[in-house]
Every structure is written in structure tokens, then in C-alpha cells.
Amino acid sequence: MAVIVHEDFQFIVQGITGREALNFTRECLEYGSKIIGGVTPGKGGREVYGVPVYDTVREITDTQRVDGTVITVPLAFAPDAAYEAIDAGIKEIIIITEGIPRKDASAVVEYAALHGARVIGPNCLGIIVPDVCRFGSLGGPAVDCRKAFKPGVVGVMSRSGGMTTEICNALTLSGLGVSTAISIGGDPVIGSTYADLIPLFEADKDTKAVVVYSEPGGTAEAELARWTQEHKSRLPIVAFVAGRFMDEMPGMSFGHAGTVVNKKVDSPADKMRRMREAGISVAEEIGDIPNLVRERIGN
Amino acid sequence: MRFYEFEAKQLLEKHGIPLVQSELVKTADEAKTAASKIGGPVILKAQVIAPGLTTASVQEVADPAGAKAAAATLLGLDDGGRKPNGILVEARPTGEAVYSLSFTYDGTTKLPVIAAANMAGKIDDLGDTHPERIVRRHFSALYPFSDYIAKELAKSLVLGGNDLKRMTRIVSGLARLFLKYDLADLDITSMVKLGEGRFAVLDVEADLEIEARHRQRPMLDDLGFAKDDLRQVREPTKFELEGARIDAEDPRGIISPIAEFDGNIGLVIGAGGGSLTLTDAVRKHGGRPANYAAIGGNPSVDKARRLTKLVLSKPGVDKIAVMSNVVSNTRADLVARGVIKGITELGFEPKDKILIFRVPGAWEADAAKILQKYGVEYCDRTVSISEAARRAVEKVS
């Protein structure tokens, strides 16, 4: 089993001829993912590593089953690309593009919800189910990706793409391994929060624990704490909150766009308190995560 | 990006939101004149950006002489290295009732939301002290704002008759303005209902979505916002400006945000979440970071070289720690080459200046080879971020 993707998951890449997209398309193919088409307006008829390029999404969805799309088009075209995918009936949408204003992100996510589609991101890297499917640009070159992500029992959700790989690498080294890893995005408004996604891990029999990487800013951690208190989850959760130094620097912005301490709920100290009160194990140090997971699952 | 209150009020006025009588002044004498024009007790608000000045930036006075004295004090405030951008001198009417309104995005529903209360204050604070007095209504960034949403909110504030209609107009106007100008937060922390049934906004805080600053350029130009003004909480230091310049001059990769601290361990670290984690880890082990950096997006050798030289040249910094999360797209070998080049150009031996080099991931074998040539130990992915930080701090002390 796996979360969101599966062995036969087939997806497309919108913006496939961009520099970053060329890299991760090759990396995904080398990893074994099924990319059945790409879209770049005006470049229909070309090929990228054997993947046919089209001008529109519908040219692909009219003839084939498309389970998901990875959107990595320039900022100004990103919402339009998402609307095109949603209207073509695609249900799993990863938006890698950075810097989308929250008004636009909110509108896209609302439209997706009205059409039964799920958005991961924006400003994320996507999903990996180790040795099964890579959906997005998470993990870099296939050879590095295989080193950092080995199949195992821990689900990972992270607001930072880079830290997704770092944490999965530590879980892999410790022998626990990874069931599904999701880079959820670092923006103030994202399509899928921890609380939105944790029921999927709950339903995944391969997942025995979940690790959450979090940062200053936003209400996602408070929402997860609430979810944990309201549901009798079988899954132990281990969280790490980065950016604790920012508590001394209100208003300063570091890292992602969503990373700023303005309101009380933004503060790492507040997030850690809420999560601990909900029974989530909060790691003092990033290096403590694997041992905390072991303690919680009794392994 | 924080607006000065006088700017926020200009936006509100343009859209027909009723405001209390108010005048922006630049000197103590002007403050006195403005106060006598308004008449009676007035409030003076220094126009500042830095947080933590909420109390210090506001004074209530009884008369024009008091206004002049208060203005002189307020104009001397330190706004994170800047002077206050003038003073708002305002009437302070007491009405029959007071309200607060807040517009923001709710990360849980992913929708814009209005919160309102029948008392003054920041909704964020009122949520703790008087949660029962707050009413909320979500709206949409996808569909045009419809007035009935504001009407329902006014109704739940227990307004009726003309009050309901006036409040509906104000809330609708603010919601449309919030969407139109890509605001991230809009807080009316105090709005009074005056004796004759009119409403007037007293206090406003507004923040622009930073990612929308380019498409909102016409509005920002109207307000006289300088192009490079990002309204940071404090003025950037020379070190930070130089870092930003290096970043801007080479489009390959990013080394920002870069910030100056007062510690002694130079950090060449990346990226995004990794640099937040690494900065915490250094502090956790008793180290004092000299700076914050966030190299990512595969920077060129030259960019890594220039960042290394900048950090190592900072007064009080003798050694640097080069650390990152497991990298996917950034090439470890390019970082290694840039760092070594930067150090040797300053006339030092890399092994004397690098506390630790922990950049595992893409092209790691090549990075290890380069470092070996210079006698610098390469830490691979088996050395955790916590352990790398511990070793770096241990070496410096």
C-alpha cells in the first residue's frame, strides 16, 4: 500500500520543457515513475526523454487515464495551469512553483475542492513512495533518491522539501525506512495540510508512525494537534519544529514565504506546546527523530 | 510587507471607508497646528514598522501644547535604525459602541476569513481573552465578494436597522479592498459607532502579500513606496546589503535570505528549512552564529566563493561551518569548490578555516575528493545535522 500514489500511478508534467522540469522528468523516469505526457504551450509534438509533449492537457486526458500532474510552470501561469488540469478531470495535483500569492493559491484550492481534486503545494517538491513511485522533484537524481529513501514504516510530512530528504535519509540510515514521504509546501496557504493528509497515513497499513517537520508561521501545527486530540489515531506522531531562534526576532522573515512570527500561533514555542499537549512527541534536536520513533512504536 | 498606518488609511479612504479625522505631520510644530485644527484631546501615532513599538509609538494628549511636546518625543523613536515616517495626529471620538474587524487567510480552510468583535483590539489577542465575543465568516478568493456575507456578519454582531446596513457596506468595502490589493492581513483594531449613527475607523494595521509586490506596483507607486523598500523590521546592515548584492548579481542559485547576528561562527549553510534547522542546531550546542544564510537552488562556484569571502571577512569571525541538509539539486562539489576558492583568495588554508563540511547528496563523491586534496574532512550523510553542529561548536571553543 502507499499514500496517494501507487505502482500504476501515471502522471503528466505541466511545464515539462523548463530547466527544472527536464531534470526531474529524467530523474522520475530513471526512478521508474510512469510519466505519460508533458505540456508546454507551443511545443506540442516534441519529446522529452521519450515523453511526448502536448500543447494542452486535454489532448492527453482525452485518450489516456491521467492520475496526476506536476505543475512547474512560471509563476504567472501557475494558477491557469492548475485550472486546466482540474477542468480536464485530473484529481492529484502537485504544484512545485514558488512565490504564488496566497490569494491565487486559495482560489485554486477552492476550485480543486469543488471538483474533487487534491492539491499538494504550492512551493513543494511532491511525493515519494520508496521503490514504488516518485511523483514530483523530491529527492534529486535517482541514484541519490534511492540512497535517502528506503521502504519502511514511517510516513513523513514536511513543510520543507530539502528537510523531507534529510529526515527520510535519517530514517533510512536508522533502519526504520519510509512508507510515504510528502513535501507539503512552505507557503501560508497550501492545498493539503498535515491534518488533511494524516487520515491517508492512518489508512495505510505500511505506516506505523508519522514524522512531521514544521517551521514558524501558520496554524497547521495547531490544526494537527486538534486533529490528534479529536481522533483516536493508531499512529504515534513525532514532530520537529525548526526556526526556534526566530522566536527572538518577531517580524523577521527567513526561509519560506510562510515563515514569519507575527501572531502567537506562528511561534515555534507555541507550536511545540500545543503538539506536546496533544500527545505528539516533539524532538528537541533533529538527530533525535529516529530514536523517538523507535520509542513510540516499541521497536 | 507592513504598510504605515497613514498609507493603509489612504487606501481605505480611496474606497469610501469612513475614517476618523486625521492628519499626517512631519514636525512637532505641524503636530501642534493639526491638534488645534482638530480641537480637543488628540492621539498621536508615530509611523513605524518595527514590532515592539506598539506602546511607545502612541500618545494621547489633551491640547495642542501637549501635542507639540509628545510629537518631539515620538519623532526621536528608533524604528529599527530608521526615523519614524511622520506622525498621525487624530481625533479620538468616544462613540456608543466599539468594534474590531480582521481579514486574513485561514490556513485550515484555505479561504479568506473575516473575524469581528464588539470590542476594540487585535482579534489575535481577543481570541485568548474574549473568544465568545468573536464572530467569523469565511469568503472566497475565487468568486467575487457578495454583500450578503457582510450582512450575515453584521447580523451576528447583533446589529439592525441602519447600523446593519452601514456595517454591511463597510465590511463589503474592506473585503473587496483586501482581495483587490493582495493584502495578507488587514486589522481594523478599533472602529466606533458615533452618536449620530455613523461609523468611523480609528486604528488600522495592514500587510501586503510580499509575493504580490510586483503586480501591486501601481498601488505601491500611488502610495510612494520605493521600489526596493521591503519594509523589513529593521534597516539592513552593510553585511546584509552586500549579501543581497552578491545574490542579485548572479542568477544561478540563491544565497538569501542573509542576516547578520553578533556571534563568532560564520555559517555557509543551506537551504530553506535546512538553514533554520542548522541555525537552531548550532545554538542548541552552545554556538553563537555570526550570520544566517540559505544557499540553495544550485548556486554557482562563484556565488559560493563570494558568500564564503563575505562571511569570513565579517569582523569577529575566524572560522566557518559549511553545512546543509542532504541536497538534491544543489551540487555539493560546486559548493566545495566555491568555499575553497573563497578561502584561498583571502590568503588562508582551507583546513584552518573550515570547522566542518557537511553537505551530503548530489555529487557528494566529487565534493569529498576536492576537500581531501586540501586536507579538509568531508562529513557524509551518516553524520547527522545535530552531530555536525556539535562538532563545529566544539572546534571553535
Give dist(CA B46, CA B69) in Å, integer: 13
Please check whether residues B197 and B335 belong to one and the same domain.
Answer: no
Please check whether residues B167 and B209 belong to one and the same domain.
Answer: yes
pLDDT confidence of residue B271: 78
For A139-168, write each residue's pLDDT tens digit: 999 999 999 999 999 999 999 999 999 999
Are A282 and A272 contacting, i.e. CB atoms less than 8 angstroms apart? yes
The mean pLDDT value for B66-71 works out to: 97
The answer to whether residue B387 is domain-embedded is yes
User: Residue B158's CB: how many other CB atoms inside 10 A?
Assistant: 10
Please check whether residues B151 and B54 belong to one and the same domain.
Answer: no
The answer to whether residue B252 is domain-embedded is yes
pLDDT confidence of residue A279: 95
State how many domains chain A has: 1
Are B114 and B50 contacting, i.e. CB atoms less than 8 angstroms apart? no
For A86-121, write each residue's pLDDT tens digit: 999 999 999 999 999 999 999 999 999 999 999 999
Q: Which of B288, B382, B176 is nearest to A245 (CA)?
A: B288
The mean pLDDT value for A259-283 works out to: 92
Residue that is written with C-alpha cell 494537534 in the block: A225
pLDDT confidence of residue B228: 81
Please check whether residues B81 and B179 belong to one and the same domain.
Answer: no
Cβ contact (<8 Å) for B281 and A109? no
Q: Which of A6, A115, A231, A256 is catalytic?
A: A256
* CATH number of the CATH domain containing A278: 3.40.50.261
The answer to whether residue B228 is domain-embedded is no
A74 and chain B in contact, CB less than 8 A: no
The mean pLDDT value for B222-230 works out to: 88
> Which of residues B197, B223, B249 is at a domain's end?
B223
State how many domains chain B has: 3
Give dist(CA A190, CA B241) in Å, integer: 31
Please check whether residues B377 and B273 belong to one and the same domain.
Answer: yes
Residues on chain A touching B327 (C-beta within 8 angstroms): 140, 162, 165
The mean pLDDT value for A220-234 works out to: 94
The answer to whether residue B351 is domain-embedded is yes
A159 and chain B in contact, CB less than 8 A: yes
The mean pLDDT value for B94-120 works out to: 95
B108: cell is: 485550515
pLDDT confidence of residue B127: 86
Asked if pLDDT for residue A4 goes beyond 80, the answer is yes
Asked if pLDDT for residue A255 goes beyond 90, the answer is no
> Which of residues B66, B91, B116 is at a domain's end?
B91
Cβ contact (<8 Å) for A162 and B272? yes
Asked if pLDDT for residue B318 goes beyond 90, the answer is yes
Please check whether residues B139 and B111 belong to one and the same domain.
Answer: yes
pLDDT confidence of residue A156: 98
The answer to whether residue A288 is domain-embedded is yes
The answer to whether residue A281 is domain-embedded is yes
* pLDDT, mean over chain B: 95
B267 to chain A, closest Cα gap in Å = 15
Instruction: Answer with the residue of higher pLDDT: A294 or B253.
Output: A294
CA dihedral A17, A23, A25, A29 (to 10 degrees): 150
Please check whether residues B67 and B110 belong to one and the same domain.
Answer: no
* CATH number of the CATH domain containing B267: 3.40.50.261
What SS3 state is found at B163? helix
- pLDDT bracket for residue A263 (50, 70, 90): confident
The residue type of B256 is S
Residue that is written with C-alpha cell 486546466 in the block: A84
**N-term to C-term CA, chain B:** 39
What SS3 state is found at B101? strand
Give dist(CA A48, CA B220) in Å, integer: 42
The answer to whether residue A2 is domain-embedded is no
The answer to whether residue B9 is domain-embedded is no
Q: Which of B394, B332, B327, B386 is nearest to B357 (CA)?
A: B332
Helices (H), B140-286: 147-156, 161-180, 217-223, 238-249, 273-284
Stated pTM of the model: 0.96
Please check whether residues B292 and B310 belong to one and the same domain.
Answer: yes
Q: Which of B393, B384, B395, B358 is nearest to B288 (CA)?
A: B393
The residue type of A159 is R
Give dist(CA B337, CA B321) in Å, integer: 15
ipTM of the complex: 0.95
pLDDT confidence of residue B230: 83
Please check whether residues B249 and B373 belong to one and the same domain.
Answer: yes
Residues on chain A touching B276 (C-beta within 8 angstroms): 160, 215-216, 242-243, 245-246, 254-255, 259
- pLDDT bracket for residue B356 (50, 70, 90): very high
Please check whether residues B293 and B350 belong to one and the same domain.
Answer: yes
pLDDT confidence of residue B204: 97
The answer to whether residue B1 is domain-embedded is no
* CATH number of the CATH domain containing B158: 3.30.470.20
Interface list for A 6-45 with B (CB within 8 A): 20, 23
The mean pLDDT value for A232-260 works out to: 87
pLDDT confidence of residue B200: 97
- Which residue from A140, A188, A257 is facing B328, i.e. has the nearest CB? A140
What SS3 state is found at B231? coil
Residue that is written with C-alpha cell 546584509 in the block: B240
User: Residue B263's CB: how many other CB atoms inside 10 A?
Assistant: 18
Interhelix angle A194-202/A220-230, rounded to 10 degrees, is: 40
Are B252 and B299 contacting, i.e. CB atoms less than 8 angstroms apart? yes
Residues on chain A touching B50 (C-beta within 8 angstroms): 251
The mean pLDDT value for B216-222 works out to: 96
- Which residue from B271, B281, B329 is facing A140, i.e. has the nearest CB? B329
pLDDT confidence of residue A25: 97
The answer to whether residue B11 is domain-embedded is no
A70 and chain B in contact, CB less than 8 A: no
- Which residue from B179, B276, B280 is facing A103, i.e. has the nearest CB? B179
Q: Which domain holds residue B366?
A: 238-396
- pLDDT bracket for residue A299 (50, 70, 90): low
Cβ contact (<8 Å) for A162 and B270? yes
The answer to whether residue A97 is domain-embedded is yes
Give dist(CA B24, CA A69) in Å, integer: 52
- Least CA distance to A147: which residue of chain B? B361
Residues on chain A touching B270 (C-beta within 8 angstroms): 162
Q: Which domain holds residue A67?
A: 10-297
Strand partners, B203: B190
Asked if pLDDT for residue A126 goes beyond 80, the answer is yes
For A12-21, write each residue's pLDDT tens digit: 999 999 988 9
Cβ contact (<8 Å) for B387 and A244? no
- The radius of gyration of chain A's CA atoms, rounded to the nearest angstrom, is 19
Please check whether residues B170 and B244 belong to one and the same domain.
Answer: no
Residues on chain B touching A285 (C-beta within 8 angstroms): 281, 284, 386
Interface list for A 86-145 with B (CB within 8 A): 99-107, 109-111, 125, 137-141, 144-145
Please check whether residues B391 and B280 belong to one and the same domain.
Answer: yes
The answer to whether residue A214 is domain-embedded is yes
* CATH number of the CATH domain containing B63: 3.30.1490.20
Asked if pLDDT for residue A256 goes beyond 80, the answer is no
> Which of residues B161, B190, B223 is at a domain's end?
B223
The answer to whether residue A192 is domain-embedded is yes
pLDDT confidence of residue B94: 85
Asked if pLDDT for residue B164 goes beyond 70, the answer is yes
Cβ contact (<8 Å) for B381 and A173? yes
Q: In sequence order, which residues have a C-beta less than 8 Å from that of residue B26 and are 6 or more positions away?
A: B86, B87
Residues on chain A touching B387 (C-beta within 8 angstroms): 287
For B240-299, write each residue's pLDDT tens digit: 999 999 999 998 888 888 999 999 999 999 878 999 999 999 999 999 999 999 888 889
Longest dimension (CA), chain A: 56
- pLDDT bracket for residue A257 (50, 70, 90): low
The answer to whether residue A3 is domain-embedded is no
B223: cell is: 502610495
The residue type of A22 is L
* Catalytic residue list contains A256: yes
A28: cell is: 522520475
pLDDT confidence of residue B397: 77
The answer to whether residue A129 is domain-embedded is yes
